[in-house]
Amino acid sequence: MELKKQINTVQIPAIHDKDLRTILDRYGISAKIDNGTINCEFCSGKISWSNIGALMVKNNSIVLCCNLVDCINSATSEKPHGTST
């Protein structure tokens, strides 16, 4: 069994809203979704509770992408960057 030491991308394929909210609460993101102040990492569209496609960890912060096929594909194919600052 292989254990990945570094997980840069966390997908939420089919997660219950309640659980998702609990997770995002932990990161202080659910309020941003409520307020409509968080956007898709890829298409910059507004993220709402009904269109969350994936959740990713980038540089120790959480970013979201919407459920458009293109964005999901981008999220799943994205490779971690070495240095982006």
| Per-residue mark of binding to Zn ion, 31-60 (x: CB under 5 A) | ---------x-xx-x---------------
Q: Which is nearer to Zn ion, 10 or 43 (CB)?
A: 43
At position 70, the amino acid (one-letter code) is D
CB neighbour class for 14 (10 Å; exposed up to 12, middle 13-18, buried from 19): exposed
CB of 12 to Zn ion, least distance (A): 14
By the 8 A CB rule, do 46 and 36 touch? yes
Kindly list the residues in this chain that would bind Zn ion in the complex (CB under 5 A).
40, 42-43, 45, 66, 68, 71
